[in-house]
Amino acid sequence: MSGNDAAMTAKIEVWWDMNDCPIPREGYDARRVRPSIERAFKELGYTGAVSITGYGDQKQTPCHVLRGLSSTGVTVAHTNSESTRSVMYRDMVEWRGQNPPPATIMIISDQVEGDLSWDLARLQQRTRYHLFLAYSMKPCSDLFLVRKANWQWEQLLSKPSLLLLVEEEGRGLSLSAASMFYCKSCDFNCKSLKKYRKHLSSYKHGLKEAVDPPDTRLLCITKNWARNYPATPEHATAKIVVLWNMKDCPIPEGYDARRVRPSIERALKELGYSGPVSITAYANHNETPVHHLQALSSTGVDFAHVLPWVEYSSMYSDLEAWKVGNPGPASFMIISDQVSGNDESLLYCTALQRSNYNCFLAYSVRPFEMPVLLTSAEWLWDSLLAVSETRGGHTLQKCSGSEMVVASAGMFCCKLCYCDCKSLDAFNKHLSSYNHTKEEHRMLSHMQSQPRRHMLYKISKYHDRML
Ligand SMILES: [Zn+2]
Ligand SMILES: [Zn+2]
């Protein structure tokens, strides 16, 4: 029923680097590879049909191994050793284009970490497959890539095999249809092992590999993706929650704060997003001018009072809470300068890999490098705010007109005392109250007595998630 359940019975596609993760030399029967992989999946409840392609320099692979693999329906693909990784990845990207989810993918390789995991994590944020990894020597330790398991290859193979059973099934399997031999260097394929061996030792093949070998560089395809995408139908009318760090992205001098909400809404609408937008402004609101508070709250912007060193973690933990009540499709927008690097975007990008969310970003400074977080749209804060200005007074009218009536007056929350106020007056009163001031002092002194990073997470209540 849910996407999750569908994935448990959907097909499973396996890309296996036979150079990195070879079949153990000592008497291991190649026919055990498939049942071992199938068994590992079944133990986790994945029952879909498994397709396996083994990549590597097949001139080096003994004949009995090739025969063993093909007799169990494992496809064999030849590449030269240096290109194995890039060819495998290219094939995976192509497969994704032709096989929309639900499906499960597995990569057996020691070289996932780095540019491959970066690009794959970005792909997974747009199109979500259940992802499994296996490694022989070097596990992928990149935290931003969400996977269901990271198996050790030899352990996976060494589990008691159901070989006999599979042999029985194997006879029923139409092997001629199931197993193929490919040469990725020549774009050649055949179904006969004899013909395949002949091809690999042919002059034509040798020449092709010498003159025009497959590219060894990994092509990160998401690098060329556009920054702003029009909304897909399922996201077009879905909810949008906006978390706005007012310190990073302040209201410019002389700017009418009532225009912030219509500017954000207008920018989103231009891309086809017309779902209800809720906005929360994070800052030390003791320092926010009263006329800004008034103007923003009149347009239904909520406030969260936070101390400077917890604003980011507070924004993130609020997003975590929002996710519970808002499963995808839905969108969140982060207005902040702290999401540009890979470390900072880690939490958001894993959220996108798990659920059907879109992420929008606005910042006052464009990031130096492309983060692993895959956004559906990005704006410079100043140009986003200028959106309503360039369209003349029209938007402001709208702002006090019918569109805005539905929005409730802003909510005011003090993140220090966990105190919700219903009105701006009550909020201002709270921020200058004895109890609040005492709490702020208490936190300040506590903070100074603790290592900074430690406190950051402690206060924000997600200490066990971040590190
Ligand atoms: Zn060839
Ligand atoms: Zn307070």
Distance of CA 381 to the CA centre of its chain: 24
pLDDT at 401: 39
32 Cα–ligand 1 center, Å: 27
**pLDDT over 70 (residue 342):** no
293 Cα–ligand 1 center, Å: 69
**Nearest one of 34, 33, 18, 209 to 111, comparing CA atoms:** 18
Q: Give the span between the Cα atoms of 306 and 4, in whole angstroms.
A: 37
209 Cα–ligand 1 center, Å: 7
417 Cα–ligand 2 center, Å: 4
247 Cα–ligand 2 center, Å: 19
Q: What is the pLDDT of residues 259-305, one digit of tens each?
A: 999 999 999 999 999 999 999 999 999 999 999 999 999 999 999 99
412 Cα–ligand 2 center, Å: 10
Q: Could you give the C-alpha distances from 414 to 69, 117, 249, 335, 348, in angstroms and in order? A: 63, 39, 20, 20, 24
**pLDDT over 90 (residue 22):** yes
pLDDT at 466: 39
User: Looking at per-residue confidence, does 130 or 371 come out higher?
Assistant: 130
Question: What is the fold of 3-221?
Answer: Rossmann fold (3.40.50)
Task: Count Cα atoms within 13 angstroms, Cβ side, for 301.
Answer: 29
339 Cβ contact partners less than 8 Å away, ≥ 6 residues apart? 345, 348, 361, 363, 371, 373
**Ligand minimally distant from the alpha carbon of residue 418:** 2
279 Cα–ligand 2 center, Å: 20
Q: Phi-psi region for residue 256, left (φ > 0), alpha (ψ -120 to 50) or beta?
A: beta
- Tell me the two tokens of residue 257: 């704060």
**Ligand minimally distant from the alpha carbon of residue 58:** 1
Lowest-confidence region among 20-24, 90-94, 211-215:
211-215
pLDDT at 7: 87
Q: Give the span between the Cα atoms of 117 and 447, in whole angstroms.
A: 36
Lowest-confidence region among 50-64, 67-81, 150-164:
150-164
414 Cα–ligand 2 center, Å: 5
Q: How many CB atoms lie within 10 A of CB 27?
A: 5
- Tell me the two tokens of residue 263: 């500017």
Average confidence score pLDDT of the chain: 86
**pLDDT over 70 (residue 165):** no
Lowest-confidence region among 76-85, 155-164, 182-191:
155-164
Per-domain boundaries in the chain? 3-221, 237-466
Lowest-confidence region among 46-50, 305-309, 340-344, 359-363:
340-344
pLDDT at 402: 37
pLDDT at 88: 97
Residue 213 · residue 187 · CB < 8 Å: no
375 Cα–ligand 1 center, Å: 40
103 Cα–ligand 2 center, Å: 48
Query: What share of the chain in percent tops pLDDT 90?
Result: 66
Once rounded to an integer, what is the mean pLDDT over residues 369-376? 88
436 Cα–ligand 2 center, Å: 4
**pLDDT over 80 (residue 252):** yes
- Mark the residues whose beta carbon lies below 5 A from ion ligand 1: 183, 185-186, 205
Q: Give the span between the Cα atoms of 329 and 439, in whole angstroms.
A: 38
